[in-house]
Amino acid sequence: MNSLMAPKVSTALVHIPHKPFSLGEVFRRHGVIVRAREGAAKAFGGIGEISERLTELLESARGISLEIDRGVSLSMEGLEEILRHATNLAARLGDEFLGINLSLSFPFGGKLIVDPRTFLREDVRKHELFGLRLSSLVIQQMDGILGAISTENEAEVETARILARYFKAARIKAYDVAEDGSVRVSHSYSHDRMGTTLFSFEMTESRFKEWVNPEAFADEVMGSIIVDDLPYVLVPDPTKDSRCIKTKGGGPNQIEQLPFLMLAEKIDGKTRRIYKVEWTSQHEFIHYVGFALNTVFGKLAATKLRLREESEKSFLDEITRISIREKNLNKALADISQLIAGYICDKAGRPIPDRVTIMLHDVYNDALVTRIIWTPKGVQEVDYYSGPRDWGIGRVVFDGNRTILLRSLADWKESSVNWRNGGKGSMVAATVSGDEGKVGVVTVSSQEDNAFSEEHLGGIKKAARHLGPAFERVARHLAELQLDPKFSAPKFGSLKVFNPRYLNAKLDLLIKHAAAGDSPLCLLYLDIDKFAHLNNAWLHDDVDFVLAEIFSRLVANLRNEEVCRHGGEEIVVIGKLTLEAAIKVAMRLRGEIEKPITVRIPYADSVAAVRTIKAIRTKAKEFPLHGINLDAIRIVRGRAKECFLEITAHKTVSIGISTFEEGDTSNLLLGRADEAMQAVKAAGRNGVATYVHGEISIINCGSQSA
């Protein structure tokens, strides 16, 4: 279908501003330059294979420059009609064609201008066509060289060599462009001629420079590329160009002396890098290399995009593979941290990060637990619970479900952070989420300021989206490790009773809170009175049902406090409680445990249950303080004819309370609470005592017979 419908042709002696654009190889070979404001691919979207008629017209239109305005979409027939109009007009007007533009307007408002004036001067046409032929030759060279390149850094090095060989460039500088338009020096390639044909380039490291206004580099030239969105700016003689009289970055009155060209490299439609090509002296063809070098760097950008996509796909695929298949969960996190470090290094062209940290969310404590730390020296498996003064960046990122790019630690105002290296450093960080919500944070940091860019942040964002399954697996595993393995079993209703390992870690965390003045802290140490008599009079496995019922009562009568198993029948309750509140909690728990405890224990058949009843009655004579109501023992049947042994026991508990004091450790807190509990035992059991400021006070005590 012809998308060029009945164009209206007119001529005008007007200047049409344009932006150079590199079209396909076929147009360059025929000496036709195409400038398209919205991209050649869009403008020529209706053109498939080149027809014989179009080839003939291109030959006859050699030297014509086409500018396609916004909103114009051309078909094969449309382009043929334009070229026919242009060549016919040139033949009809002859020398008068020198100052005329051919303007074609379309019903939908688009416009296309044919401007052949540039090519009618012999000297200009000679150099422009030389540039076209040279760019065509260079592109052929680059196709062969860049096709075998495996990294973005190698692609830049090879392009720099091509520029030195074919365009006599002396130096190529690379600048990073931030989201807000600020710029920093990234690196440069310097030319050193060796013999007659060899050129060597070294990457001059100048990373971690300050981000500044683009006008600090070549004054207004770089700013015009970023602000005006120009693809390139050529400055053949800076001393005569008002845009380059002063540069603000190198001191007052600094003048650019030598020719240079600046080009933009875009990522996702935004300028993310600017290249500056410099020459040490004037060359005859410098005035005409803009189009050719724009083509060269366009090829470089396409190659880097391909490599970036390949690297990213490989990186994310490997993360997914590890997340799903690696059975050793700590190894999975360690391998992921190494992958992230390598990925950031590839993007930077050098080993920038000095640390990759993986933190997982502890749902029971609402804390971040640092599990893996990667450094250039290796991977460490750690188990560090973040406290209120250590949460810092990771906690803020997690709470806000954010990703951040922190160029300098000095700019971070949202939390207090103790940073190594004297407060110097930079970081990228992202929240990791899974099917059930947020599960962790991954951070990549450097001890240098300005080490990372938006490109690094984008990589971490994509990685975070793929890390969810691995983090969830590890988080579930950690949660299981925190629970007491016996009483989290299904037969006990999956009680939330924590183990001693969790107790120690949580106590350390709460002590940090209390020491910082953020919250009070009290610890309750409970011991079941005469539990050994019950244990010896009964089968050990069956007695666990009594303990499970006690744990269940404790959990049901607590709000934000947590129940931890510290030994056989020794229990610790920890929480952010004042002493007064802790005493009330202790008295309530004491009263709940005093109530008769009736349990039903499943048995395979009534024969086995009867055998257990006989054994209990015999053993009970040896351990009279067992607390079992021997007269109430009975066998009951369930709805599905299951067999249960129902037993009722009466037990009491002795409780000691300690409260946080300055300089406390978890062992000191536990020790004082244990001493208070032992004081209750000595005073008659079934009671509560406190240990505060070196003094034990008995609150209440019951009967020793319990």
Residue 376: Cβ within 10 Å count: 10
**Cα–Cα distance for residue pair 432/563, rounded to 1 Å:** 29
Q: Are residues 338 and 287 in the same domain?
A: no
Q: What is the pLDDT of residue 120?
A: 47
Specify whether the backbone of 57 is left (phi greater than 0), alpha (psi in -120 to 50) or beta.
alpha
Q: Are residues 254 and 205 in the same domain?
A: yes
Q: Are residues 210 and 280 in the same domain?
A: yes
Q: 25 is in which domain, residue-wise?
A: 8-119
pLDDT in tens, 87-99: 777 677 665 555 5
Q: Which residue has the higher pLDDT, 524 or 176?
A: 524
Task: Tell me how far CA of residue 504 lies from CA of 153, 389, 482, 565, in angstroms.
Answer: 49, 19, 11, 11
pLDDT, mean of residues 624-632: 85
Q: Are residues 606 and 671 in the same domain?
A: yes
Q: What is the pLDDT of residue 437?
A: 85
End-to-end CA distance of the chain: 98
Q: Are residues 473 and 539 in the same domain?
A: no
Q: What is the pLDDT of residue 525?
A: 96
Tokens of 154: 């190698």
Would you say the pTM of this structure is higher than 0.75?
Answer: no
**Cα–Cα distance for residue pair 593/349, rounded to 1 Å:** 66
Element (H, E) at 338: helix 329-348
Q: Are residues 495 and 445 in the same domain?
A: no
Is pLDDT above 50 for 684?
yes
Answer whether residue 137 is part of any domain: yes
Pairing of strands 8-12, 378-385: unpaired
Element (H, E) at 406: strand 403-406
Q: What is the pLDDT of residue 421?
A: 46
Give the best-scoring range by mean pLDDT among 325-334, 366-375, 659-668.
Answer: 659-668
For residue 219, what is the domain's CATH number?
A: 3.30.450.40
**Cα–Cα distance for residue pair 78/44, rounded to 1 Å:** 10
By CB atoms closer than 10 A (0-12, 13-18, 19+), residue 196 is: exposed
Answer whether residue 263 is part of any domain: yes
Domain's final residue, options 308, 337, 354? 308
Q: Are residues 44 and 152 in the same domain?
A: no
**Cα–Cα distance for residue pair 577/510, rounded to 1 Å:** 11
Q: Which residue has the higher pLDDT, 698 or 102?
A: 698
pLDDT, mean of residues 41-48: 69
pLDDT in tens, 462-499: 888 888 888 888 777 777 777 877 777 777 776 788 88
Q: Are residues 254 and 396 in the same domain?
A: no
Q: Are residues 531 and 636 in the same domain?
A: yes
pLDDT, mean of residues 174-202: 65
Min mean pLDDT across 160-164, 184-188, 244-248 is at 244-248
Are the CB atoms for 209 and 450 separated by under 8 Å? yes
pLDDT in tens, 103-151: 666 554 556 666 655 444 455 555 555 555 666 667 677 777 888 888 8
Are the CB atoms for 450 and 428 separated by under 8 Å? no
pLDDT band at 594 (very low <50, low <70, confident <90, very high): very high
The DSSP-derived string for 427-487 is EEEEEEEETTEEEEEEEEEESSTT---HHHHHHHHHHHHHHHHHHHHHHHHHHHHHB-TTT
Task: Identify any residues that bridge with 528 across adjacent strands, giving them in sequence order.
Answer: 653
Q: What is the pLDDT of residue 147?
A: 81
Q: Are residues 141 and 279 in the same domain?
A: yes
Q: Are residues 197 and 111 in the same domain?
A: no
Q: Which residue has the higher pLDDT, 73 or 376?
A: 376
Answer whether residue 315 is part of any domain: no
Is pLDDT above 80 for 155?
yes
Is pLDDT above 70 for 639?
yes
Is pLDDT above 60 for 433?
yes
The residue behind tokens 């640092």 is 370
Domain's final residue, options 481, 506, 540? 481
Q: What is the pLDDT of residue 572?
A: 95
| DSSP secondary structure code for residue 170 in this structure | -
pLDDT band at 425 (very low <50, low <70, confident <90, very high): confident
Min mean pLDDT across 43-47, 56-60, 173-177 is at 43-47
Tokens of 96: 């008068």
SS3 label, residue 165: helix
Residues 6+ away with beta carbon under 8 Å from 556? none
Answer whether residue 236 is part of any domain: yes
Pairing of strands 634-637, 426-434: unpaired
Give the best-scoring range by mean pLDDT among 107-116, 228-237, 339-348, 476-485.
Answer: 228-237
Q: What is the pLDDT of residue 430?
A: 92
pLDDT exceeding 70 applies to what percent of the chain? 73
Answer whether residue 179 is part of any domain: yes
Tokens of 71: 């909103």
Side chain identity at residue 695, one-letter code: E
Task: Tell me how far CA of residue 191 lies from CA of 160, 605, 641, in angstroms.
Answer: 9, 91, 91
**Cα–Cα distance for residue pair 642/639, rounded to 1 Å:** 7
Q: What is the mean pLDDT of the chain?
A: 76
**Cα–Cα distance for residue pair 670/97, rounded to 1 Å:** 98
Q: Quote the number of domains for the chain.
A: 4
Answer whether residue 524 is part of any domain: yes
Residues 6+ away with beta carbon under 8 Å from 114? 64, 65, 66, 82, 85, 86, 101, 102, 103, 104
Answer whether residue 317 is part of any domain: no
Answer whether residue 392 is part of any domain: yes
Q: What is the pLDDT of residue 22?
A: 38
For residue 676, what is the domain's CATH number?
A: 3.30.70.270
Domain's final residue, options 98, 119, 140? 119
Q: Are residues 497 and 641 in the same domain?
A: yes
